[in-house]
Amino acid sequence: MYPLAFAKEGEEVIVKEINAGYGAMQRLTSMGINIGSKIKVVRNQNGPVIVSARGSNIAIGRGLAMKIIVERENNER
Amino acid sequence: MSDRYEIALIGNPNVGKSTLFNTLTGENVYIGNWPGVTVEKKEGEFEYNGKKFKVVDLPGVYSLTANSIDEIVARDYIINEKPDLVVDIVDATALERNLYLTLQLMEMGANILLALNKMDLARTLGIDIDVDKLEKILGIRVVPISAIKKVGIEDLKKAISEEVKNKRKYNIKYPHFEPYIKKIISILQKDENLKKYNLRYLAIKLLENDKYVEDIIKKSKIWNELNPVLDSIREELSKKYGEADLGIIEERYKVIDNIVKEVVKKKSGKLTTTQMLDDVLTDEKVGILLLIPFLWMLFKFTFDVSAPFSAMIDYIFSLLGDVIKSSISNEFIASLLADGIIRGVGAVLVFFPILAFLFFAISFLEDSGYMARIPYIADRFMNKFGLPGKAIIPLVMGFGCNVPAIMATRTIENEKDRILTILINPLMSCSARLPIYALFAGAFFSAYQGLVVLSMYALGVVLALIIAKIFRKFIFKESPSYLIVELPPYQIPHLKVVLKNTWERVYDFLKKAGTIIVFGVILVWLLSVYGPSGYLGAEALTNPELLSNSWAAVIGKALAPLFAPMGWDWKACSALLFGVIAKEVVVGSLAILYGVGEENLSNIIVNAFTPVSAYAFMAFSLIYLPCIATLGVIRQEIGWKWAVFALAYEMVLAYIVALTITIIGNLIF
């Protein structure tokens, strides 16, 4: 398990923890990123991380991406 | 007789809600504000089969958990106004995420109809949705449409007219939570006063730790009975899920996953245009390199294309002023009309083309999908100064004109972030300040003219970033809210949508900021034609001898000692006072006060200023109070209190900077 900010581009991960405040967490979950959801890292350079979750692309500020703990999907090709 | 119904449109951002609203209601649109907040409220109307439907456009929201003003507005409306029907617009290409809001609406017990938008796009992406099955599982009428292509609109109207009468009950069950919900409802039932609410909704919200609902229940007589029960349930849930509210969220998504599994079939999609464009446009290095020309284009388009129109309006109004002066014999009334009222209205209307072109360009970028990417690219840099990524657009716009720039902050959701972004905006050197720089740089620094002018712009940017950092630290103590933004697919903008958005925003400005500008111009006129000795005559505006007896001169003279360290005379101070109307007026006022034409002005000021005092004057002009239009728009957006604050801090800052330049300058030269 590691923060989303450290995930590689193209990686598919499962969200394990969201250690952000109530507001940020509610906002993430309402946009389709909740604990247990599978997300794909579309872009991760130095700025915010872009993930694909439930059919849409969402940019997440780097600070927040440090607080989202993810785990690599096991059944990779 | 005609039946009247009220229906509401709701949906996630970017689902095509405004397009559908426009298609349904046509031209009859009323724009106002939701009570107590600055969120825009749009209402329209349409008729179908002799029935009249009032359509209320709710803000675009992802959920109804009351995290933002938008969500509170939408939730309160549905709970309190109880519309006959809520049309939930759902993006067929992202059904999973969109259904989250749908489930919440069902929890509230609202009468819902699902408009499944972007069906055509879903098909091209290889997404196949079984509409009948979806209808059956949810127990809600589902109408597939394409708002952009106007497909299925008649079907939708028909469905709306049928569903307004069928008040349905839904049966979405949350298997792991039903026992708890039932238990809570059995207690809630005992209070007759709670009957006006949907008890199931109250129960779910209590499990979710919703403050708003908790406050309602705390006033009820059953609170004492409910509280211990609720505590034990919450404890049980937090053992299982970490937090009780996380449990509900997880459960909602489980239900959604099951629905999606049943109704959506996905063939392997191909690489979309969006993916291809994003590979380039959101790249760390290329993205920034491309952002700069995009912003430059936005800037150039707005101010260059609008310039001839503004000049035309300016010309027409000065012509109108001349006509009135020559045709009305009463000199006082003629001057009040021409130099006060007409000039004031003109001052408002010259903004009209600038705003129209700016908002056209912004609406265009918004509709194309690129706008959502700009904060993403700028987020890291802006965060260093305590600003959110979204602040980039207003700041760049400020180089043109602070008025539309401040209006462009509306995309920033967090109130503190938004206030901060607005407060520093006047420091971005708008185009109206250029004539002042040009005059002084030409007169004193002709060899380095360009560099000196550029240094003013740089000074503005540096000050804005420093002030942002200071205000963030001492006034808005929390760090800027995290960027969480959806990057919608790119699309070719729809001219009709863009034009409509443009017009609504411009109209808003003319209506609200307009009055304060007209008032300000009339005030300055009064100060010029009246003096301690009474009415001086309209001639004062062109005659330096007379003007030196006016209140404007009196104020300038009173201020002069304060600015004596910088070496400015009272005429310079009075000119600054006139700059309140618009900063370019400073130049014209200097010409009047020194009694020369603008073309000879530079010869005069070479004697009245030294290079150091001239440079300090330029810097002061850059920073000191925002012009009346900017002040008006700050008040409109965040209220008097902040407008006064902006005025005060800028005056102080301007004085400090001008004094520093004078001291350092005199040490060196």
Give B112-123 pLDDT, tens digit per residue. Answer: 999 999 998 888
Whether the predicted pLDDT of B153 surpasses 80: yes
Distance from CA of A55 to the nearest CA of B (A): 5
Fold identical between B4-163 and B178-266?
A: no
Contacts of A27 (CB under 8 A, 6+ apart): B62, B67, B484
Give the model's confidence band at B37: pLDDT under 50 very low, under 70 low, under 90 confident, else very high: low
Give the model's confidence band at B434: pLDDT under 50 very low, under 70 low, under 90 confident, else very high: confident
What ranges make up the beta strands (E) of B49-179?
A: 51-57, 85-91, 112-117, 127-129, 141-144
A32 and B96 within 8 Å at the Cβ level: the answer is: yes
Residue B445 touches chain A, beta carbons under 8 Å? no
**Chain A contact set for B376 (CB, 8 A):** 47-48, 50, 59
The residue among B605, B622, B610 whose CA lies nearest residue B662 is B610
Q: What is the pLDDT of residue A6?
A: 94
Helix axes of B570-578 and B495-529: crossing angle, nearest 10 degrees? 140
* Maximum mean pLDDT: which of A49-58, B420-429, B488-497: B420-429
What would the mean pLDDT of B141-155 be, rounded to a whole number? 92
ipTM (interface pTM)? 0.92
Strands A12-18 and A56-60: unpaired
What would the mean pLDDT of B98-110 be, rounded to a whole number? 92
CATH homologous superfamily of B4-163 equals P-loop containing nucleotide triphosphate hydrolases (3.40.50.300)
A60 and B483 within 8 Å at the Cβ level: the answer is: yes
Residue B389 touches chain A, beta carbons under 8 Å? yes
Domain assignment of residue A33, yes or no: yes
Distance from CA of B376 to the nearest CA of A (A): 6
DSSP H or E stretch at residue A3: strand A2-3
Task: Pick the residue from chain B with its C-alpha nearest to A36.
Answer: B250
Distance of CA B2 to the CA centre of its chain: 38
Q: State chain B's mean pLDDT as an integer.
A: 87
**Chain B contact set for A53 (CB, 8 A):** 97
Q: What is the pLDDT of residues B542-567, one digit of tens each?
A: 787 888 889 989 999 999 999 999 99
Whether the predicted pLDDT of B621 surpasses 80: yes
**Chain A contact set for B384 (CB, 8 A):** none
What would the mean pLDDT of B578-583 be, rounded to a whole number? 82
Q: What is the pLDDT of residue B167?
A: 73
- Which amino acid, one-letter code, is at B638? I
What would the mean pLDDT of B583-605 be, rounded to a whole number? 80
Task: Pick the residue from chain B with its C-alpha nearest to A32.
Answer: B97
What would the mean pLDDT of B47-74 be, rounded to a whole number? 88
Q: What is the pLDDT of residue B98?
A: 94
What would the mean pLDDT of B390-402 be, rounded to a whole number? 87
Q: What is the pLDDT of residues B210-244, one digit of tens each?
A: 888 898 899 888 999 999 999 999 888 888 887 77
Q: State chain A's mean pLDDT as an integer.
A: 89
Whether the predicted pLDDT of A76 surpasses 60: no
Architecture of the domain defined by B178-266? Orthogonal Bundle (1.10)
Domain assignment of residue A77, yes or no: no
* pLDDT-above-70 percentage for chain B: 98
Q: Which residue has the higher pLDDT, B615 or B173?
A: B615
Buried b / exposed e over B578-617, threshold 16 CB at 10 Å, is: bbbbbbbbbbbbbbbbbebeeeebbebbeebbbebbbbbb
What would the mean pLDDT of B373-388 be, rounded to a whole number? 91
The residue among B410, B542, B339, B442 whose CA lies nearest residue B69 is B410
Strands A56-60 and A68-72: unpaired
A-B Cβ pairs (cutoff 8 Å, strict): 112
- Per-domain boundaries in chain B: 4-163, 178-266
What would the mean pLDDT of B420-448 be, rounded to a whole number? 89
**Chain A contact set for B485 (CB, 8 A):** 58-59
A→B contacts (Cβ < 8 Å), by residue, are 20, 23-24, 26-32, 34-37, 42-43, 45-48, 50, 53-64
B484 and A58 within 8 Å at the Cβ level: the answer is: yes
Q: What is the pLDDT of residue B90?
A: 96
Helix axes of B178-188 and B199-207: crossing angle, nearest 10 degrees? 120
Whether the predicted pLDDT of B186 surpasses 70: yes
Rounded Cα distance, B646 and B636, in Å: 13
Give the model's confidence band at B627: pLDDT under 50 very low, under 70 low, under 90 confident, else very high: confident
**Chain A contact set for B389 (CB, 8 A):** 48, 61
Q: What is the pLDDT of residues B276-318, one digit of tens each?
A: 888 888 888 888 888 888 878 877 887 788 889 988 988 898 8
Whether the predicted pLDDT of B2 surpasses 70: no
Whether the predicted pLDDT of B457 surpasses 70: yes
**Chain B contact set for A36 (CB, 8 A):** 250, 253
Task: Pick the residue from chain B with its C-alpha nearest to A15.
Answer: B250
Distance from CA of B618 to the nearest CA of A (A): 37
Q: Which residue has the higher pLDDT, A42 or B355?
A: A42
**Chain A contact set for B116 (CB, 8 A):** none
Give the model's confidence band at B453: pLDDT under 50 very low, under 70 low, under 90 confident, else very high: confident
A61 and B482 within 8 Å at the Cβ level: the answer is: yes
Task: Pick the residue from chain B with its C-alpha nearest to A29.
Answer: B249
Provide the 10 A C-beta neighbour count for residue B255.
Answer: 18
Give the model's confidence band at B326: pLDDT under 50 very low, under 70 low, under 90 confident, else very high: confident
CA dihedral A35, A40, A44, A49 (to 10 degrees): -40
- Which amino acid, one-letter code, is at A36? G
Give the model's confidence band at A77: pLDDT under 50 very low, under 70 low, under 90 confident, else very high: very low
The residue among B210, B208, B209 whose CA lies nearest residue B249 is B208
Range of the domain at A50: 2-72
**Chain B contact set for A35 (CB, 8 A):** 242, 246, 249-250
Distance of CA B106 to the CA centre of its chain: 31
Residue B278 touches chain A, beta carbons under 8 Å? yes
Give the model's confidence band at A65: pLDDT under 50 very low, under 70 low, under 90 confident, else very high: very high
Q: What is the pLDDT of residue B1?
A: 44
Domain assignment of residue A19, yes or no: yes
CATH of the domain at A21: 2.30.30.90
Q: What is the pLDDT of residues B256-272, one digit of tens each?
A: 999 999 999 887 665 67
Task: Pick the residue from chain A with its C-alpha nearest to B260.
Answer: A54
Give the model's confidence band at B617: pLDDT under 50 very low, under 70 low, under 90 confident, else very high: very high
Rounded Cα distance, B446 and B429, in Å: 21
Rg (CA), chain B: 30
**Chain A contact set for B491 (CB, 8 A):** none
Mutate to test the interface with A, among B117, B212, B241, B249 (most CBs of A within 10 A): B249
Buried b / exposed e over B432-467, threshold 16 CB at 10 Å, is: bbbbbbbbbbebbbeeebeebbebbbebbbebbbeb
Rounded Cα distance, A60 and B135, in Å: 34
As for how many domains chain A has, the answer is: 1
Whether the predicted pLDDT of B367 surpasses 90: no
Q: What is the pLDDT of residue A75?
A: 57
SS3 helix, strand, coil % of chain B, rounded to 5?
Answer: 70, 10, 25
Residue B414 touches chain A, beta carbons under 8 Å? no
Q: What is the pLDDT of residue A61?
A: 93
